[in-house]
A and B are shown apart, each in its own frame.
Chain A
């Protein structure tokens, strides 16, 4: 059960990152800003709602 919860959490995180990637593509955010504000925080688990 705990494992399932963890997997769901990971999927949610992946989906959130995918959504943000589309947002950044539409708004043409530079790579360094994507890294600074989204990719690095995602690695640190800061993107969670």
Chain B
């Protein structure tokens, strides 16, 4: 499967955020989108997730593909967790087939056990990012889109998160938007702006 972006342009309030962007996203490949703040990293991820439509150009799915939409695993720039629910419930609620037990097992790889049942509103920013990461990987996705997934993490936490990503991504195409390429040197880099 390939997702082809052809001369994609996106404007907000008269300002061109993306201009004539042509790009192929292929299975088995990991991409790092870098660029300054405001260079269009989040916009590109939102277009790939189907949350924004390009003003010009087109996005096509090529290859043997069953549906007209993509199933995405997403880490949003802001967490978008359901604040009053626990980490376990935030993961299991998005997919009926993910039991609380399975969600707990996955979360334990990145978080301490005693944090899993308290409301996510009580977790630190980094712990919340870890919950978002597990949530993104808990759905059977055609593409993984991670927007600044390492925000606030120190070196150890970042390495843990990267190891989790590498272990779980399989052959699913992965796109990470991050201003910092540390630990992601093997990714195909696309610089915006």
- Interface residues, chain A, CB within 8 Å of chain B? 19-20, 22-30, 33, 37-38, 41, 46-49
Interface of chain B residues 39 through 80 with chain A (CB within 8 A): 49-51, 71-72, 74, 76, 78, 80
- Please name all residues of chain A whose beta carbon is closer than 8 Å to the beta carbon of B115 when the two chains form the complex: none
Of A22, A33, A47, the residue contacting B84 (CB under 8 A) is A47
Number of interface residues of B (CB under 8 A): 19
Please report whether the interface of chain A is mostly helix, strand, loop or mixed according to DSSP: helix
- Interface residues, chain B, CB within 8 Å of chain A? 49-51, 71-72, 74, 76, 78, 80, 82-85, 93-96, 121, 139
Alpha-carbon distance A47/B81, docked complex (angstroms): 10
- Please name all residues of chain B whose beta carbon is closer than 8 Å to the beta carbon of A25 when the two chains form the complex: 51
**Cβ-defined contact, A29 with B93, below 8 A:** yes
Residue of A nearest to B139 (CB): A27
Alpha-carbon distance A41/B93, docked complex (angstroms): 14
> How many Å from the CB of B49 to the closest CB on chain A?
6
